[in-house]
Structure 1
């Protein structure tokens, strides 16, 4: 500062003597030069005034029970409730208003509450305000609570000519996808599926739990009863949601017994009176993250089976409407009415692939892929499992069944090809993003001419990518061979050859309990996964805000 002062003095003296110098014929420009040297610097610009700005709030719905006293939304705030969000209004900023500050809430008032010192001051029964605060130099701490998913509101903070609007948003309910790390895996243990259970137990250890069949009425279809979803907030909040289907068979009630508690709830959408097989959650899946026509879907897109709008035409419209209302995963529909059970997981899934530009591959059932494998095999090659349970003792007996081959070619042309085209459109995929899994189908008695898997459905798979460990893939052993040696199975080899070499494969025995019961590995398993992205930074463009 002394240097600046000195320079200013020099400039002042020179300027005062400038006229005299000019009178003596000297160049007045030398006065300017006195302030342009290394000893003359420009004073620092004054700092801009502090901005009248405040934080946004991105939280989770307070729908769990953190204290054992009932749903938290129905209680007054308490210390151990970890689903509340804080909004701090700094005293230094409030002082800039030069007087009283008014807070006004807009948006979903019935699902937003704002507390100050444990007193409800805005939202719900307290209304929109305005609430007047008289700044005293100290920070004002507000607590924000949300009563539902994907709630949006705005808090206007005004004083004099200063106005700021803070966003208040609760997390949308997001379905999990196969690229998210697996936290835990469950399946039901019953008489006859010991090999299936042991396959999981030996690989996953403590990350796997076998639910005793005697406690769930022998219901092995773990995926069909539940779908795990997650919600997260900016304050490290996480509320897991078990979407409990209206299927309501033996597994009904398991969620409440083993999962529901602090930070986990179960919820159901739909009317059990109208339930069909389409309401089981093998018929409800989500893709990994995709970009479609320039639009980024950081949590992927939901897809499910439905044709038409009738109550028995597909997944419950109540659930479908709710999922669409969450906006972020933009659900789309696929036909499953050609299948006896009618689930999208019978013909599709996703596998991680680090070498792929998208990081994954769509796995899709494909008839030509199966016929191509069959064409390489001797017609006399024996197939003991198929002879025993499907009436096809050899490869030749399959190839010589003209009606079976015609049926499968028709299924490919009428359903699977259009399904692939739909996936390409909805997910922005190309042929390079797709693995075609050898698959054949057959009609099933008492199912109106609809079909189920003849070759155990290998697309019906589980990705167990426990964080920090090898990515394990569990799927059905197709038993398309006459020996116990899986290395000789042409269907296994074809699938593995088309997939990433980074995957650790487990082709497990699901034949009697699952395959003959018209399901496969994914149908009998469920996985809880870790959320991996922040919707408040990556998905605002999908939620109608920036």
Structure 2
């Protein structure tokens, strides 16, 4: 019999410096030099260093397009209005600052000269400078409104919060070709226009003459460490409308040439001349992780030529900063979009019930048939749905577990496609065991804890008890990935006491109209025994659980089983430990928690691992106000299941409707239930992750 359990085989604020406002420059006496000047900067000239040794005085003359100021410990007066400075005393501290307010129309349009004197009438040297002024700005959407604004002062820094700033980058993890299964960021070409919306736009704005002086050029560059996380393409024009259609794809690839990647840390971008702007597209290629904080900075430099055989020198650098969008999980309180379930040879009645529930709830149902699932029915264990978000675009992203059973190809071969992303993490040096399945990965609704708000909830994972030396744990590579996303700070719960070991076996969340907007449901053996004791006291001791099945047992027989009671005392202690953690880490009161009457049995052959004694009602499918709950086959009282009656009394006051689904043979006896055998893709949060106060 196929079993569900997998057995072992043997506040951040980041800032980078902005524009280089001053550049030290050296004049040469009796020479005419031609340079490119970037508007918004200053040329700083130490006159004593370049003056002839016998110089005692200097004067300045320039065209009206050039501004200058002189400091020699104190500013020097400029009686001639800025275009001419009569001879002044030259000291070791005399510094000349040169600037321009507007870009040039032609090369070498502006002139500047400094004359040096032995005395006020003895000219001993003249340094002449021809200037070509250009405006350069590398721009991103730093204010997060979906528009790339010009020269935002915060474009090279990041700040969290609704009043924060900083550009956002998506990981291009979908596949524009649904028939060609390849994650887009694994391909170093832009094959379709639709691929560009998964990238972040960056605009290079320039203004100046038609061409730069010979040897000057613009270069994009990134650090080697950041090149592992990002790729940059540029535009180079579009095919003419008269181009035959069969040539369009070939020409299209040339329209978006690759500029930067891990093999090319620097790449020239053309200077277009005049008042122009060039679109660049930045592609995220990996999510934040243990070794990557999610921040990527990109630099644009104006390079100046040196003598033959020497490399160019950067004379101006503009910087921008991106933060890669995190992968975000969605809790039960968000609206469903699509329900996923497997079809197997023995789950016809289960599947029929799921179809009815989903249809009546008004959502889409996708069935994974046996040719794809290969008999693996545990849809919840294989995948976890989430999404990524930016001001200009968002799309769902499936996180694929490393369990690699029959459903292993489903997320990549079926889900991955246009605007549906894929990511996975696989341990290299650890065994993959049951705790690496994603029934062991849940997320809470939004909560506030000790004044700190988690508007996207908190991730919940199951691990071994802290004092256990040989227990099972979720693989570190998965835990590291979840922790690195930052926006849903994970909580570790104790789940290794369970035979399968998943947190969804003892807890879930349902929406509620009051208090915090939800209730935490916890399995509770104490509540189970309390219910069965009440039935005994009312004379229903002969009522039978599992009536008509080989497991049939009366309430009296169950209550007299001291071994089972001892096992459930142990289980209750384990759940209570988790209850205390959840109350503390999610800021819950007892009124926010509902205890469900569920008993467990402990199997010594499985290392004393616990499993639900009857179908585990907490392991439910939550579709808005409709709950698909495992049919518990409890004792019949007045022709009604007492456990179902109790569940309705707990859920219906919250406006929730209970539908009980028979999963006994096809799921429960294989150590799983309704939630284990289904999965739900939900709408994203309305709250944008970058508005978090971290």
Taking structure 1 as the reference length, the TM-score comes to: 0.78
How far did 1:194 drift?
2.4
**Matched position secondary structure for 1:184:** strand
Q: Distance in 2 between matches of 1:203 and 1:505?
A: 10
**Matched position secondary structure for 1:256:** helix
Q: Is residue 170 of structure 1 aligned with residue 324 of structure 2?
A: yes
Aligned to 1:525: 678
Q: Distance in 2 between matches of 1:275 and 1:484?
A: 48
Q: Is residue 77 of structure 1 aligned with residue 190 of structure 2?
A: yes
**Matched position secondary structure for 2:384:** strand
**2:284 corresponds to which of 146, 166, 183:** 146
How far did 1:441 drift?
0.9
Inter-CA distance 103–418: structure 2 relative to 1 (3 Å threshold): same
Q: Is residue 383 of structure 1 aligned with residue 383 of structure 2?
A: no
Q: Is residue 210 of structure 1 aligned with residue 367 of structure 2?
A: yes
Q: Is residue 452 of structure 1 aligned with residue 562 of structure 2?
A: no
- Tell whether the 8 Å contact from 2:631 to 2:661 is kept in structure 1 after alignment: yes
How far did 1:162 drift?
11
Inter-CA distance 379–328: structure 2 relative to 1 (3 Å threshold): same
Aligned to 1:342: 501
List aligned pairs for 1:90-109, cutoff 5 A: 108-109=226-227
Aligned to 2:172: 62
Inter-CA distance 509–70: structure 2 relative to 1 (3 Å threshold): closer
How far did 1:69 drift?
7.7
**2:228 corresponds to which of 110, 129, 142:** 110
- Tell whether the 8 Å contact from 1:109 to 1:128 is kept in structure 2 after alignment: no
Deviations 1:283-334 (A, max 9, x none): 1111112222322222211111111597862211111111112222222211
Aligned to 2:349: 195
How far did 1:448 drift?
2.4
Q: Is residue 285 of structure 1 aligned with residue 446 of structure 2?
A: no
How far did 1:425 drift?
1.5
How far did 1:85 drift?
1.6
**2:202 corresponds to which of 56, 76, 87:** 87
Q: Distance in 2 between matches of 1:180 and 1:503?
A: 15
Q: Distance in 1 between matches of 2:499 and 2:449?
A: 32
How far did 1:415 drift?
0.8
Aligned to 1:490: 642
How far did 1:122 drift?
5.1
**1:361 corresponds to which of 505, 519, 523:** 519
Deviations 1:24-72 (A, max 9, x none): xxxxxxxxxxxxxxxxxxxxxxxxxx99426643231113321338432
**Matched position secondary structure for 2:358:** helix
Aligned to 2:101: none
- Tell whether the 8 Å contact from 2:456 to 2:687 is kept in structure 1 after alignment: no
- Tell whether the 8 Å contact from 2:332 to 2:445 is kept in structure 1 after alignment: yes
Structure 1 gaps, min length 5: 1-49, 93-99, 466-470
Aligned to 2:566: 406
Q: Is residue 224 of structure 1 aligned with residue 381 of structure 2?
A: yes
Deviations 1:334-378 (A, max 9, x none): 11221111111100110011222x211111111221122112213
Q: Distance in 2 between matches of 1:269 and 1:51?
A: 38
Inter-CA distance 483–53: structure 2 relative to 1 (3 Å threshold): same
Inter-CA distance 72–247: structure 2 relative to 1 (3 Å threshold): closer
List aligned pairs for 1:174-323, cutoff 5 A: 174-205=328-359, 207-213=364-370, 215-238=372-395, 240-271=396-427, 274-307=431-464, 313-323=472-482
Deviations 1:522-544 (A, max 9, x none): 111111122124544323x44xx
Structure 2 gaps, min length 5: 1-148, 156-165, 208-216, 236-255, 289-293, 303-314
Q: Distance in 2 between matches of 1:75 and 1:534?
A: 33
Q: Distance in 2 between matches of 1:163 and 1:126?
A: 18
- Tell whether the 8 Å contact from 2:374 to 2:406 is kept in structure 1 after alignment: yes
How far did 1:387 drift?
7.6
Q: Distance in 2 between matches of 1:134 and 1:190?
A: 61
**2:691 corresponds to which of 521, 538, 543:** 538
**Matched position secondary structure for 1:361:** strand
**Matched position secondary structure for 2:366:** strand
**Matched position secondary structure for 1:153:** strand
Deviations 1:461-511 (A, max 9, x none): 11123xxxxx321111112133795xx333223233333532222111111
- Tell whether the 8 Å contact from 2:206 to 2:271 is kept in structure 1 after alignment: no
Give the paired residue count. Answer: 476
**2:275 corresponds to which of 130, 137, 143:** 137
Aligned to 2:152: 53
How far did 1:110 drift?
2.7
List aligned pairs for 1:25-40, cutoff 5 A: none
Q: Distance in 2 between matches of 1:390 and 1:64?
A: 48
Aligned to 1:3: none
How far did 1:384 drift?
4.6
How far did 1:157 drift?
7.5
Q: Distance in 1 between matches of 2:384 and 2:519?
A: 22
